[in-house]
Amino acid sequence: MTSVDRIVVGVTGASGSMYAVRLLQVLIKAGLETHLVISPSGASVIKQELGVTVNLKNPDLEELICCVPEWSGRPALTDPTLVTTSLSVGKLCFHQYDDYMTPIASGSFRTRAMVICPCSGSTLSGISRAASENLIQRAADVHLKEQRKLILVPRETPLSVLQLENMHRLATSGAVILPAMPGWYHGVKSLDCLIDFIVCRILDQLQIDNSLMERWGE
């Protein structure tokens, strides 16, 4: 496995957990080694929005990745490439939120990029201060210091001056600020179209070919 095939995904306690699930589905389908970290607040939001309970000590990754909410127009997932997940081997690797001994906490573990989706305001603050108060913040700090791509997907409105200042500071430090602000110009027919719009833009930043949405002018 090479560094270009490794993506780190952090899920924190902002609304929009379905963006994260859909991103994970596509990354696994693409055969990319995906390293996942979920914060306790992120697990709470997943429970609230998707009805999936994530046991952070022993998560049922299959249930999470194959989650299809009742409001979704998407059919149930039956593709076996999305259910052959593992805590330590295979394409999806889960890391404990407070485990600093895991590979993604070190700059010597090469990756293509990291995505924090959704990204809470407190996570923005922690990363902008290089606080490294948990594994998600530490891995983000690693990507900044190693000058690898870090994509932050905040989902908050309205935004305070402090949040905007944190985004500006991170953007000037090399992070990509990609708010969960879906467009409406691509023939929206369902909520899934809006979810795929954001996931498509994340994948574009990761330079992963996809056809999740109808592109402008194509």
> So what's the pLDDT on residue 79?
54
Q: Is the dihedral of CA 44, 46, 52, 57 positive or negative?
A: negative
Domain parsing of the chain, residue ranges: 3-205
User: The tokens 């496995």 sit on which residue?
Assistant: 1
First to last CA, the chain: 34
For 210, the token pair is: 């996809």
Judge: domain 3-205, CATH 3.40.50.1950. yes
DSSP letter for 92, please. E
> So what's the pLDDT on residue 85?
42
In this prediction the pTM is 0.91
98 and 217 in contact (C-beta within 8 Å)?
no
Helix, strand, coil: what percent of the chain each, to 5?
Answer: 40, 15, 45
Helices (H) and strands (E) in the chain, counts: 7, 6
Question: How far is it, in rounded angstroms, from Cα 193 to Cα 6?
Answer: 26
> So what's the pLDDT on residue 86?
41
> So what's the pLDDT on residue 190?
87
Nearest to 119 by CA among 87, 149, 153: 153
> So what's the pLDDT on residue 101?
96
DSSP letter for 154, please. E
> So what's the pLDDT on residue 164?
97
Task: Per residue of the chain (218 residues), give pLDDT as tens.
Answer: 566 689 999 999 999 999 999 999 999 888 899 999 999 999 999 999 999 999 999 998 888 988 877 777 676 655 545 544 443 334 899 999 999 999 999 999 999 999 999 999 999 999 999 999 999 999 999 999 999 999 999 999 999 999 999 999 999 999 999 999 998 988 888 888 899 999 999 999 999 998 888 777 76
Question: How far is it, in rounded angstroms, from Cα 43 to Cα 21?
Answer: 12
